[in-house]
């Protein structure tokens, strides 16, 4: 039995959303797949290796299994993961593996949880592992589509293509969120105003996305990126790449936690790959083996 859940892009509003401002986020067509089978002990298999419950190698899957045991008690499970979402890169791989695992366990143990209940469990896993988080990633991964978060307002974008550039520099969301919290402590008034500005960008941006106004949206990508840089989640390498792209008329911004990870833009550029905004959230697949995965 295989389940899957999508990765996501945050189009506007990352970090500010941790401080109760709005973010515009969308599921994408890259998914994480989890195969779950009943077993006497716990076994987790991924590209990081084969472990039992292991909060260092497999923190999100281990926490998902532990939290699911509160829904129904079971002896053991074998969980195998294959993912098309680059890890630790801002594309929501952690939330996707969490939601896909919980969806698989729900199916395997016939616990009939609703999507809302799966989201609540995934949200708790995010908090248990990261300590802080807005819930945006597990929400998008569970329900799919494009949304303004936290109010859960559905957005229907006029266009569905975005371009993603992976800096290949990995970063840990919890550390990036903690870094913003530390810098905010020093200048809370300044940071609150930056978060307010990002909130205004999200609202404006969601409207422009529905109207399909690319040029205005690019101006908001530009401003949001500068504000992310101001709160310290960009890097000198990202700043110079973004400046070089701007000279060529391409406006890119960090998506997700920053500190490396991925950039998104509305126009293609060298090294960037296309992703599609995707309506589909978590689902139970109708195939039982991995043959589909490499195609
Ligand atoms: C991570 O994808 C987005 C952040 O805003 C953290 C969060 O919302 O939990 C950086």
Report whether the peptide linkage leading into residue 150 is cis, meaning its omega lies within 30 degrees of zero.
Answer: yes
* 128 in active site: no
The second-level CATH assignment, the architecture, of 2-153 is 2-Layer Sandwich (3.30)
pLDDT of residue 17: 97
Any ligand 1 atom below 6 A from CB of 262: no
CA distances from 33 to 98, 210, 258, 284 (A): 10, 30, 25, 10
What's the pTM value of the predicted model, to 2 decimals?
0.94
Nearest CA-CA partner of 80 in 38, 44, 106, 32? 44
The Cα 9–Cα 141 span in angstroms is 10
Nearest CA-CA partner of 18 in 184, 147, 153, 224? 184
Q: For residue range 217-242, what is the model confidence (pLDDT) as tens digits?
A: 999 999 999 999 999 999 999 999 99
Query: How many CA atoms lie less than 13 Å away from 166 in the CB half-sphere?
Result: 13
Q: How far is the CA of 123 from the centre of ligand 1 (A)?
A: 12
The Cα 135–Cα 207 span in angstroms is 22
Residue 208 confidence class, pLDDT cut points 50, 70, 90: very high
Q: How far is the CA of 89 from the centre of ligand 1 (A)?
A: 12
The Cα 63–Cα 57 span in angstroms is 11
Catalytic residue among 137, 207, 289, 294: 137
Any ligand 1 atom below 6 A from CB of 171: no
Domain 157-276 has CATH 3.40.50.300: no
Structural domain boundaries in the chain: 2-153, 157-276
- Provide, rounded to the nearest whole percent, the portion of the chain with pLDDT above 90: 92
Any ligand 1 atom below 6 A from CB of 22: no
ipTM here: 0.97
Any ligand 1 atom below 6 A from CB of 129: no
Q: For residue range 178-198, what is the model confidence (pLDDT) as tens digits?
A: 999 999 999 999 999 999 999
């Amino acid at each position: 039995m295989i389940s899957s859940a999508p990765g996501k892009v945050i189009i506007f509003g990352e970090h500010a959303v941790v401080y109760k401002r709005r973010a515009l986020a969308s599921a994408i067509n890259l998914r994480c797949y989890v195969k779950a089978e009943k077993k006497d002990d716990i076994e987790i298999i991924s590209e990081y290796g084969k472990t039992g419950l292991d909060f260092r190698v497999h923190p999100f899957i281990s926490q998902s299994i532990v939290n699911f045991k509160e829904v129904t008690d079971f002896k053991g499970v074998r969980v195998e993961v294959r993912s098309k979402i680059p890890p630790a890169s801002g594309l929501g791989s952690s939330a996707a593996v969490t939601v896909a695992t919980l969806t698989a366990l729900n199916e395997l143990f016939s616990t009939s949880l609703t999507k809302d209940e799966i989201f609540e469990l995934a949200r708790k896993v995010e908090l248990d592992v990261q300590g802080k988080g807005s819930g945006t990633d597990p929400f998008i991964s569970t329900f799919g589509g494009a949304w303004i978060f936290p109010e859960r307002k559905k957005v229907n974008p006029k266009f569905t293509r975005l371009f993603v550039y992976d800096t290949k520099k990995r970063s840990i969301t919890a550390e990036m969120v903690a870094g913003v919290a530390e810098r905010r402590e020093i200048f809370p008034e300044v940071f609150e105003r930056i978060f307010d500005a990002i909130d205004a960008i999200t609202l404006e941006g969601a409207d422009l996305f529905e109207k399909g106004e690319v040029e205005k949206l690019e101006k908001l990508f530009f401003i949001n990126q500068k504000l992310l840089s101001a709160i310290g989640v960009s890097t000198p390498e990202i700043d110079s790449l973004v400046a070089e792209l701007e000279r060529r008329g391409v406006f890119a911004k960090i998506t997700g936690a920053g500190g490396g990870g991925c950039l998104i833009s509305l126009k293609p550029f060298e090294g960037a790959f296309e992703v599609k905004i995707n309506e589909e959230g978590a689902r139970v697949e109708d195939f039982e083996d991995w043959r589909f995965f490499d195609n």
